[in-house]
């Protein structure tokens, strides 16, 4: 059976490293890293994420600034807030919680964030830097996956990787990071017709489709590292009849074939907010001209 990849343990280690670095740097710098989270409207899932981001930032010794705006906020007003946060030297990271209400254009909003404060790594400047193999702020979920993979894969060079899903948030940046690490990278999505065949070639399989049970055990190359990013709510399957969370991989059967696999929950999920803290610390170091030491493992090429 596959080795279980314990995302909670990775996240706890990463959070502890961030906290230690903040404690070491802040007194000399005269200020702690500050994370501003902007929430427009009342999406219930977003409310939970925003609370959790604020709480974890405080626990890491950072400052947390929450900006809750009404559903009806106009684009001008939101852009004016971002301009104030860009100019605020107590704020080193800015995150606008997505999705935004339909009348707001997420691209215009994200591109208004100063790239060096863009701790989600969604600004076109950071996306372009990652795409050209340069040092940049990397989106949290793929960054967390990469950190976990680095502890499992000795040498990425020449390994075959398949990423299932090509969203801007997960699939595309994931594929770019694997390519930057010199993997041979394939990317599949909902229009792909031969995914089982591609998957059987993959030493590293990252699945981010949002389809429960999509990846079957017989798609997996024996010994492969399988990272399941999917988070799907399946109703009524838990012993107590409540909804439970499952990933995109048929976990129980896949375990018998894979070399290592992430569970859902407890795999990729916990790393995402920990990586947001790591990105905020990184943004702070860049803005203050402080040394930016790797926390778990570096995200750059293995050269
Ligand atoms: P998305 O809906 O934006 O993109 C889904 C991608 O999967 C698309 O590229 C689509 O083409 C592809 N896809 C859909 N159905 C497919 C199929 N049957 N076969 C192959 N490809 C298919 O979603 P996203 O934002 O990239 O998120 C993907 C999943 O990861 C979701 O379950 C989401 O909840 C989860 N997620 C988890 C975290 C985390 O922290 N663990 C973070 C972000 C997203």
Give 53-68 pLDDT, tens digit per residue: 999 999 999 999 999 9
Number of neighbouring beta carbons within 10 Å of residue 256: 11
Residues 84 and 91: their CA atoms lie apart, in Å, by 10
Residues lining ligand 1, CB < 6 A?
Answer: 141, 164-167, 169-171, 188-190, 192, 195, 208-211, 214, 229-232, 268-269, 272
pTM recorded for the entire structure: 0.95
Check which CATH number belongs to the domain holding 100 and give it.
3.40.50.10860
- At 302, the pLDDT band (50, 70, 90 cuts) reads very low
> For residue 297, is pLDDT > 70?
no
Compute the distance from residue 88 Cα to the ligand 1 centre, in Å. Answer: 34
Contact 168, 123 (CB under 8 A): no
31 and 107 within one domain: yes
- 97 a catalytic residue: yes
Pocket probe mutation, ligand 1, options 140, 165, 192, 262, max atoms within 8 Å of Cβ: 165
> Alpha helices, DSSP H only, in the chain?
7-29, 44-59, 75-87, 106-112, 124-131, 140-152, 171-180, 195-199, 251-254, 269-288
pLDDT at position 301 = 36
106 and 144 within one domain: no
> For residue 300, is pLDDT > 50?
no
Residue 40 inside a domain? The answer is yes
Distances (CA, A) of 256 to 1, 4, 213, 217, 218: 5, 11, 15, 8, 10
3-state secondary structure of 24: helix
Catalytic residue among 56, 117, 118, 120: 120
- 120 a catalytic residue: yes
Which residue from 210, 180, 184 is spatially nearest to 198, judged by alpha carbons?
184
Check which CATH number belongs to the domain holding 249 and give it.
3.40.50.720
Which helix H or strand E contains 262, and what residues bound it? none
> For residue 29, is pLDDT > 60?
yes
Compute the distance from residue 165 Cα to the ligand 1 centre, in Å. Answer: 6
261 and 162 within one domain: yes
Compute the distance from residue 56 Cα to the ligand 1 centre, in Å. Answer: 25
The tally of domains found in the chain comes to 2
Give residue 289's region: left, alpha or beta (phi > 0; psi -120 to 50).
Answer: left
CA-closest residue to ligand 1 atom 5:
209
Residue 251 inside a domain? The answer is yes
Q: Name the phi and psi angles at 293, rounded to 5.
A: -80, 145
First to last CA, the chain: 33
145 and 99 within one domain: no
Pocket probe mutation, ligand 1, options 229, 248, 277, max atoms within 8 Å of Cβ: 229
Quote the percentage of the chain above a pLDDT of 90.
92
Return the ∠ at Cα 198 (arms to 196 and 199), rounded to 5°. 60
- 63 a catalytic residue: no
Tell me what the pLDDT averaged over the chain comes to. Answer: 95
Q: For residue 112, what are the domain limits?
A: 25-116
3-state secondary structure of 114: coil
Contact 14, 147 (CB under 8 A): yes
Residues 21 and 28: their CA atoms lie apart, in Å, by 12
197 and 148 within one domain: yes
Residue 65 inside a domain? The answer is yes
Contact 93, 284 (CB under 8 A): yes
pLDDT at position 203 = 98
85 and 191 within one domain: no
Residues 261 and 267: their CA atoms lie apart, in Å, by 8
Residue 192 inside a domain? The answer is yes
Residues 166 and 237: their CA atoms lie apart, in Å, by 29
Residue 217 inside a domain? The answer is yes
Residue 128 inside a domain? The answer is no
Mean pLDDT value of segment 190-205: 98
Which residue from 137, 198, 203 is spatially nearest to 173, judged by alpha carbons?
137
> For residue 293, is pLDDT > 90?
no
Quote the percentage of the chain above a pLDDT of 70.
96
> For residue 288, is pLDDT > 50?
yes
CA atoms within 13 A on the CB side of 186: 21
Residue 182 inside a domain? The answer is yes
Residues 120 and 141: their CA atoms lie apart, in Å, by 9
261 and 209 within one domain: yes
Return the ∠ at Cα 132 (arms to 149 and 299), rounded to 5°. 25
Residue 259 inside a domain? The answer is yes
């Amino acid at each position: 059976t596959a080795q279980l990849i314990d995302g909670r343990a990775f996240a706890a280690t990463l959070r502890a490293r961030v906290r230690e670095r903040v404690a070491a740097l802040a007194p000399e710098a005269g200020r702690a890293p500050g994370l501003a989270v902007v929430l427009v409207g009342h999406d219930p899932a977003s409310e939970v994420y925003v609370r959790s981001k604020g709480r974890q930032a405080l626990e890491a010794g950072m400052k947390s600034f929450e900006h809750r705006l009404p559903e009806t906020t106009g684009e001008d007003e939101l852009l004016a807030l971002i301009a104030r946060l860009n100019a605020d030297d107590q704020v080193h990271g800015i995150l606008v919680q997505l999705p935004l209400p339909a009348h707001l254009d997420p691209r215009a909003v994200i591109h208004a964030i100063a790239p060096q404060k863009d701790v989600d790594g969604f600004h076109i400047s950071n996306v372009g830097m990652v795409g050209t193999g340069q040092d940049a702020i990397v989106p949290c979920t793929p960054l967390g996956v990469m950190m976990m993979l680095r502890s499992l894969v000795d040498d990425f060079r020449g390994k075959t990787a398949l990423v299932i899903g090509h969203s801007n948030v997960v699939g595309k940046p994931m594929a770019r990071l694997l390519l930057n690490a010199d993997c041979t990278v394939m990317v599949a999505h909902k229009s792909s017709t031969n995914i089982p065949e591609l998957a059987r070639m993959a030493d590293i399989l990252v699945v981010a489709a949002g389809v429960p049970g999509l990846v079957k055990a017989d798609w997996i190359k024996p010994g492969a590292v399988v990272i399941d990013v999917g988070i799907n709510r399946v109703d009524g399957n838990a012993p107590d009849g409540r909804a439970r969370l499952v990933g995109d991989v048929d976990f129980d059967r896949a375990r018998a074939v894979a070399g290592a696999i992430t569970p859902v929950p407890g795999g990729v999920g916990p790393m995402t907010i920990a990586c947001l803290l790591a990105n905020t610390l990184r943004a702070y170091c860049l803005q203050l001209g402080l040394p930016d030491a790797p926390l778990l493992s570096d995200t750059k090429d293995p050269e």
